[in-house]
Amino acid sequence: MARWYAKEHLKTDPGVVAVYYLPKNAGDREIRFIEVNELISDRTDDAVVPIDFGVDMGTDDAHRLFVVDVTPKQWKRIKSKKLRLPKDWSIEGAIEFAK
């Protein structure tokens, strides 16, 4: 499911140059993404906050897709541990999807 979402986001959003799937510490029905987006304004000092896209809520296929959009500069700061991710998020074991 994560692969499909990543490919769709890369295909439909021209600013997204990479999607990182973060499975570590995620719940069974939870997908966590960091999307590196070249078209959003540079906000290197802003907090990193995920957007919750509840999918198929109220059905047997219900799951949550959390997306954090970051600039390339923010991504560099996350990798160097100068910018914090949300609680319990980790880039350890991240799977990259790129154009």
Q: Model's pTM, two decimal places?
A: 0.88
Q: What is the largest CA-CA distance in the chain?
A: 39
Q: Is the pLDDT of residue 68 over 60?
A: yes
* Length reported for the chain: 99
Q: Tokens standing for 62? A: 């219900």
Quote the percentage of the chain above a pLDDT of 90.
Answer: 69
Strands of the 63-70 sheet, one edge to the other: 51-55, 63-70, 30-37, 16-21, 95-98
**Residue 57: pLDDT over 60:** no
The pLDDT of residue 76 is above 60:
yes
- pLDDT score recorded for residue 44: 63
What is the structure's pLDDT at 26?
Answer: 92
Tens-digit pLDDT profile for residues 25-54: 998 889 999 999 999 988 766 678 888 876
Do 21 and 6 form a contact (C-beta atoms < 8 A)? yes
Contact between 33 and 69 under an 8 Å Cβ cutoff? The reply is no
Tokens of 33: 């993404």
Helix (H) or strand (E) holding 50: none
Report pLDDT digits (tens) over 3-22.
Answer: 999 999 999 999 999 999 99
